[in-house]
Structure 1
Amino acid sequence: MTDKAFRFGVVSAPQEGGARWLATARRAEELGYSTLLCPDNLNLPTPTAALAAAAAATTELRVGSFVLASPLRTARAAAWEAHSLTTVTDGRFELGLGTGLPTMRQQAEELGLPYGSGQDRLDSISETIDHVRRLDGDAHTPVMVAAGGPKARRLAGKKADIVALAGGALTTREELAGHAREIREAAGDRDVELSLNIWVVGEQVPPWIRGFIGVDAETLIEHDSLAIVRGGVDAMAEELERRREELGVSYFSVNGAFIEEFAPLVERLTGK
């Protein structure tokens, strides 16, 4: 499905102070992860500051937003932050963009910004990409778009460098394969990297993750969910190879709670 080599990111947030965050960044680099990805939420430190600090504490680790929510910034402000990070990290920043969760309506109001319709939020993503391309000049900030719906998939295929398949925890393989086809069709001759986030490694779902995705391990396993990988290293490696073959996904991110458990896969598959 794709000849792109595997690479891996870890999704984490600086919730326990700066020292712990920088230790996470250094550990991610030590374990061979390509990217440290930071979520966007008013209840967390801004990704701009967190990712700049992580990049400064490492030498090769890429950093990225996962993902900047369009309701929380104007398109021009998001592009300003993105280009600034590309500049101060010497090109190690990846801009992730998304339309935001419904729960961010109140957060947008706190900032004095409209939450907007779905189309408004997609338009903001498109405008952000345009602004970034203008600001970058000879540089190039890789842009990831989290694409959950058909309009987002079409936009991502046309404009993004990386597209995160953003289905729910119980979205089937067949459905995600269809989503991937839509993205590739929209991309045409453009070379787009497909990404998928893994919430759980093993057969235990931490309570806070269960609260976020809304299902337990038994349900994930019963539905052959792509939000989980389990078994020994051989079995998990075979599963990721299957996902690359069937879906075209070569870039996998994993929840930071499983940074160590996932590391053997990073060591085995990176660059292959």
Structure 2
Amino acid sequence: MSIFRFGVLSTGATSSPGGWTTLARRVEDAGFSVLQVPQHFSVPSVPPLPSLAMAAAATTHLTVGTLVLDNETGHPAVVARDAAWLAAETGGRFELGIGAGWMAADHTMLGHPFREPAARVDRLGEALELIRGCWAGRTSFAGTHYSLDAMPEGCATAHPPALLVGGGGRRVLDLAARHADIVGIAPDMRSGRIGRAAARTTGRGPVAAKAARIREAAARRGATVELHMSITAVVDRADTARIDKLADTFDVPPAEVPRLPGVLVGDTAAICDELRRRRAETGVGYLTVNEVLLDRMAPVVAELTGT
């Protein structure tokens, strides 16, 4: 059974000038294991790799990571090179998270095509092959979607960063199981937005089924993967108005809200018990919360981290 560890996801949009490193130290002091940033262009967000390098430099043991880079916005060999360098310079405190790219606006605002889901997943699969190849010393590559010609010295490393691949659809999760060290189970967002139908694809039953499939696929390559999910809401049991609003958002009865994988309901003791139950059922022990939930989740982190 995987041990619990917790991350904080921040866009940095609420940080005042000079406040980013203060946030990193706050995350570390609160007992969280990881500070993560997304990659978006259509909403305010810090640049992922520079901000994470600063956060690592300002802390002593905090891991930093991307959740996640959009594969459609960069060449995988460049991603592999930059990730290998950052992992080496932080003493192994960097996780590379990457996905197929789900937010349509991130693509269209840059003048890039928002490809069909199957094409994005195909490109991600080839990118993962190339990233792993670069870390193994490969300097040239000729694929369907990407090519590389005599990259100087490649970016070979004996200690590559942990690779997190996130997604919700079957094909992308199969890719993750074949290539990743950490698999992030997310809603199915092939349409380019998070809607009710997408959110409901991460019900407790579907998560357990996805987790079992991921573990089986990873075992075929002789690997054991860590399973990750994000928590998007933490609610007091007495806050019926908020529970009703979440029920409407996810199109479920209010009584089902506490069972939604992205939602936690109750006080610290109840949340700890619920997370233990979920881990026993799904195997998910790596959880990320938004920055706004940092203080609320700190007691839970103190209770469960490393257990």
Fold-level similarity (TM above 0.5)? yes
Counterpart among 174, 195, 205 of residue 174 in structure 1: 205
- Determine which structure has more spread, i.e. the larger CA radius of gyration: 2
- Give the corresponding residue for 2:34: 35
Partners of 1:220 and 1:227 within 8 A in 2: no
- Give the corresponding residue for 1:141: 161
**Cα distance between partner residues in 1 of 2:85 and 2:116:** 28
User: Per-residue CA shift, 1:115-162, capped at 9, x if unaligned?
Assistant: 333233223333333343323420121011112100011101111000
The aligned amino acid for 1:13 is T
- Give the corresponding residue for 1:21: 20
Could you say which structure has the greater relative contact order, defined with CA pairs below 8 angstroms and 6 or more residues apart? 1
CA RMSD of superposed structures (Å): 2.6
Partners of 2:7 and 2:289 within 8 A in 1: yes
Aligned-residue offset at 1:217:
11
Counterpart among 236, 250, 272 of residue 285 in structure 2: 250
User: Per-residue CA shift, 1:201-256, capped at 9, x if unaligned?
Assistant: 12479x9xx89x98279967634211111211111001110111000001011111
The aligned amino acid for 2:205 is E
- Give the corresponding residue for 1:152: 172
Q: Name the stretch that deviates more: 255-264 or 181-190.
A: 181-190
TM-score normalised to structure 2 length: 0.78
The aligned amino acid for 2:203 is T
Residue 129 to residue 96, structure 1, CA distance change in 2 (3 Å) = same
- Give the corresponding residue for 1:108: 107
- Give the corresponding residue for 1:190: 223
**Cα distance between partner residues in 2 of 1:52 and 1:220:** 42
- Give the corresponding residue for 1:262: 297
Aligned to 1:190, the other structure's residue is in SS state: coil
Aligned-residue offset at 1:179:
0.9
TM-score normalised to structure 1 length: 0.88
- Give the corresponding residue for 2:53: 52
Partners of 2:104 and 2:114 within 8 A in 1: no
**Cα distance between partner residues in 1 of 2:29 and 2:131:** 30
Aligned to 1:215, the other structure's residue is in SS state: helix
**Cα distance between partner residues in 1 of 2:56 and 2:83:** 14
Q: Name the stretch that deviates more: 57-66 or 88-97.
A: 88-97
Aligned to 1:185, the other structure's residue is in SS state: helix
**Cα distance between partner residues in 1 of 2:131 and 2:8:** 24
**Cα distance between partner residues in 2 of 1:17 and 1:72:** 27
The answer for unaligned runs of 5 or more in structure 1 is none
Q: Name the stretch that deviates more: 126-135 or 149-158.
A: 126-135
**Cα distance between partner residues in 1 of 2:70 and 2:107:** 10
- Give the corresponding residue for 1:120: 119
Residue 100 to residue 57, structure 1, CA distance change in 2 (3 Å) = same
- Give the corresponding residue for 2:64: 63
Residue 102 to residue 13, structure 1, CA distance change in 2 (3 Å) = closer
The answer for unaligned runs of 5 or more in structure 2 is 135-154, 188-197
Partners of 2:208 and 2:282 within 8 A in 1: yes
